[in-house]
Structure 1
Amino acid sequence: MTELVSSTASTKVDAGHGVSFAEAFRVWLRVALLSFGGPAGQIAVMHRIIVDEKRWVSESRFLHALNYCMLLPGPEAQQLATYIGWLMHRTAGGLMAGGLFILPGIIAIMALSWIYVAFGHVWFVEALFFGLKAAVLAIVIQAVVRVGSRALRNNLMIGLAAAAFIAIFFFAVPFPLIIIAAGVIGYLGARAGRPEFAAAGHGSGDNGDRDSALGELLPEHAKPNPRRTVVTALVWLALWLTPVIALVAMLGTESTFSQIALFFSKMAMVTFGGAYAVLAYVGQQAVEHYHWLAPAEMLDGLGMAET
């Protein structure tokens, strides 16, 4: 990665519209190091740095991309970072933004996991993790309020968000149904000409497209290209499935490693709506079906991951 930065730092990448690759590297590393509190905190940090501070993309483009990432399976915050990095600096930018986004978290969770396993039942370590959970909860609440205040622009949108919360929290309505219903309501409202459903116009507001580094038009490499899309999908599909198939072939389906690979591969395909939407499913399977963790250990793991 260092060689990639040094070889590109001396030039301005056209797609970056004046933002050098080296500067982008520093910014994405900063985003990664400050992204506490899970997806809500990560997205709020990205919004503050990428939209408000650096003005790389407009708020409308950021929220538009976030909406699509929420509909995709997988971690929406990393997808959003990868997409913006790709928009700014092509494939290298996407790999850099997506890779840096998870690197500090990998190092931190490995260190915290080792401490937890080795010293988790010592009273001061338990107190430390309890305090971390409380701090993370405050970070998540602040992040939700920050992003929600930008996305929910009128009383009708606030009412839809409240209805979605009631449906999923009190009535356990499946998340995909809530997303589909919200999409249908939004489509019908826009077709009916209701101003509450009007999209934020590009180039409007405090940080419109024309005022952002990316500009009003998509860069050339972001325009539709079916052949490139198919090739990219096949390459990443092979990178995903090859290790899973190799594990199953070498160790068999009864191996814990094979079960982990198969379970999280399946989970990756059903995590619509982001990480929060699938936490209950992961907890249930890991605790009740596979017996990898006890319920208290699952909660401690969530606290560590959010931290």
Structure 2
Amino acid sequence: MTLATPTDAAIAAPTTPSFAQAVRVWARIGCLSFGGPAGQIAMMHKELVEDRRWIGEQRFLHALNYCMLLPGPEAQQLAIYIGWLMHRTIGGLVAGLLFIVPGALAMLGLSLLYVLYRHVPLVDAVFFGVKAAVLAVVVEAGLRISRRALKNRAMVVIAIAAFIGIYLFKIPFPIIILAAGLVGWLGQRYAPATFAGGGHGGKVGAPEFKGVVDLMFERGELGHATPSGAKAIKTCAIWLPIWLGPVLALWLLTGGASVWTQIGGFFSTMAVVTFGGAYAVLAYVAQAAVETFGWLQAGEMVDGLGLAETTPGPLILVLQFVGFLAAYRAPGGLDPLLAGGLGALLTLWVTFAPCFFWIFLGAPYVEALRGNKALSAALTAITAAVVGVVMNLALWFALHVVFRQVRSVEFLGLAPDLPVLSSLDWRAAVLSAAAMIAMLRFKVGMIPTLAASALAGVLIIHVIGA
């Protein structure tokens, strides 16, 4: 008996999926999208390019490069982009929503459990262990980004400058990103070899072939992807009110000082400046949420990241946890749990509504970005700056995980955060070191490391004691 092999015609003509088929695949991707953006993008590539051939290799990479130019979670925006190509606006909406809904529901449940049972001794011990693993996860992410971004001395200088700017001078994250982008744009003009694009979204490895989208284009079925001024105006007229309308309404109803207005305004800003992924923006969010607004404590921010690491969907869902706690602790006349749920929903709305706006507005013009060297150079410099920002986040977590007390020390007009050495928690230090060795030396995955650290936290506190 011989195995039949597919003909060239079969390879060249993949089956066009129905909308119902696409919905089932997007739901599957949303429920299994663990592992951060790298794992999520790899999974989409396998499902959509290799297994089903809904989109060709080159179109997939071109879409990915565009999404990496945008603020926000690039994996979710890639899902919106591909869903929009195949089934117009409704396809983009379904793909984007199904990518975040499973993780959002899981994060809401975990947030409820956190506020209800956080101070149960066993749960407290679990989070003690998880915090140590989170520190290792952030350090590993910084090293992974640095290997991709720091390709020459200029990129190293940008990363160091970003770290110094945010740690010593407290320069806001958006300014650091804008400055890095400007440096990259100017660098492309005066030192193009130094600031050449770093190959974002390089070849994943599948053979080249025509996908469903390519065939739709050849048959003239992608008319919705043709850019026009009228379409752009219509998109802005629809999506800007969808995104910012609730924020304006809450400001008018509750005033500028209410927690609702603060959540809506702050996270709307985050949606515009979150270049470089979730790790890059978390230091800025943590600083504002802990020190400026007082929504939660530093240790709770680390807890939230640990919870987000265990759920499917974008890591930026950690912002939902922040919004939940902010509203839970300032509920006004509402039940605290109801207020927390509404705060989480508002955070989700203003964080992810812009993702749909960016794609529906910009995707028709994406061909104009192909081969744009200035934009590529700006992204290269921004990615280098992100390394410095993530290292600052790792330092911030280390100070608040390994030491019980941290204080600002005045020095030459600066006030960096430094640990109180006598407050060293040896248990947290040992757990953090073990988690780093597991992930960096033995390549243990994130979820197993989190689980093992949680178990170790329980053993240390309830069995060993002290």
TM over 0.5, yes or no? yes
Cα shift readout 1:13-65 (whole Å, capped 9, x = no counterpart): xxx96111111111111111111244344333323322333332233333322
Among 66, 88, 91, the alignment partner of 1:90 is 88
Give the aligned partner of residue 207 of structure 2: 207
Among 226, 229, 249, the alignment partner of 2:229 is 226
Q: 2:29 & 2:104 partners in 1: Cα distance? A: 15
Query: Measured at CA, do residues 27 and 180 of structure 1 come closer, stay the same or move farther in structure 2, by a change above 3 Å?
Result: farther
The one-letter amino acid of 1:116's match is Y
Q: 1:103 & 1:54 partners in 2: Cα distance? A: 23
Name structure 2 gaps, 5 residues minimum.
1-13, 311-466
Query: Measured at CA, do residues 228 and 243 of structure 1 come closer, stay the same or move farther in structure 2, by a change above 3 Å?
Result: same
Query: Measured at CA, do residues 197 and 263 of structure 1 come closer, stay the same or move farther in structure 2, by a change above 3 Å?
Result: closer
Cα shift readout 1:110-154 (whole Å, capped 9, x = no counterpart): 100011111123343245456667499779969x97x999xx7xx
Query: Measured at CA, do residues 108 and 161 of structure 1 come closer, stay the same or move farther in structure 2, by a change above 3 Å?
Result: farther
Give the aligned partner of residue 60 of structure 2: 62
Give the aligned partner of residue 102 of structure 1: 100
Among 279, 284, 288, the alignment partner of 2:287 is 284
The one-letter amino acid of 1:107's match is L
Q: 1:44 & 1:130 partners in 2: Cα distance? A: 32
Q: What is the Cα deviation at residue 283 of structure 1?
A: 0.7
Give the aligned partner of residue 265 of structure 1: 268
- Listed as ranges, the matches of 1:224-263 within 5 Å are 224-263=227-266
Query: Measured at CA, do residues 263 and 64 of structure 1 come closer, stay the same or move farther in structure 2, by a change above 3 Å?
Result: same
Q: What is the Cα deviation at residue 285 of structure 1?
A: 0.5
The one-letter amino acid of 2:267's match is F
Query: Measured at CA, do residues 284 and 177 of structure 1 come closer, stay the same or move farther in structure 2, by a change above 3 Å?
Result: same
Count of residues in Structure 1 that have an aligned counterpart in Structure 2: 281
Instruction: Report if the CA contact (8 A) 2:79-2:95 is conserved.
Output: yes
The one-letter amino acid of 2:58's match is S
Q: 1:65 & 1:229 partners in 2: Cα distance? A: 19
Name structure 1 gaps, 5 residues minimum.
1-15
Cα shift readout 1:145-174 (whole Å, capped 9, x = no counterpart): 7x999xx7xxx9955887776665577592
Q: What is the Cα deviation at residue 241 of structure 1?
A: 1.7
Query: Measured at CA, do residues 171 and 248 of structure 1 come closer, stay the same or move farther in structure 2, by a change above 3 Å?
Result: closer
Match of 1:215, SS state, is: helix
Q: 1:28 & 1:213 partners in 2: Cα distance? A: 16
Q: What is the Cα deviation at residue 222 of structure 1?
A: 1.1
Deviates more, 1:65-74 or 1:122-131: 122-131
Match of 1:298, SS state, is: helix
TM value normalised by structure 2: 0.51
Give the aligned partner of residue 175 of structure 1: 177
Q: What is the Cα deviation at residue 183 of structure 1?
A: 6.2
RMSD: 3.9
Query: Measured at CA, do residues 41 and 199 of structure 1 come closer, stay the same or move farther in structure 2, by a change above 3 Å?
Result: closer
Deviates more, 1:269-278 or 1:97-106: 269-278
Cα shift readout 1:44-103 (whole Å, capped 9, x = no counterpart): 332332233333223333332222222222332221111111011111100100111111
Query: Measured at CA, do residues 117 and 90 of structure 1 come closer, stay the same or move farther in structure 2, by a change above 3 Å?
Result: same
Match of 2:214, SS state, is: coil
Instruction: Report if the CA contact (8 A) 1:175-1:273 is conserved.
Output: no
Instruction: Report if the CA contact (8 A) 1:25-1:97 is conserved.
Output: yes
Instruction: Report if the CA contact (8 A) 2:130-2:303 is conserved.
Output: no
Identity of aligned residues (%): 48
Query: Measured at CA, do residues 230 and 273 of structure 1 come closer, stay the same or move farther in structure 2, by a change above 3 Å?
Result: farther
Q: 1:82 & 1:270 partners in 2: Cα distance? A: 19
Larger radius of gyration: 2
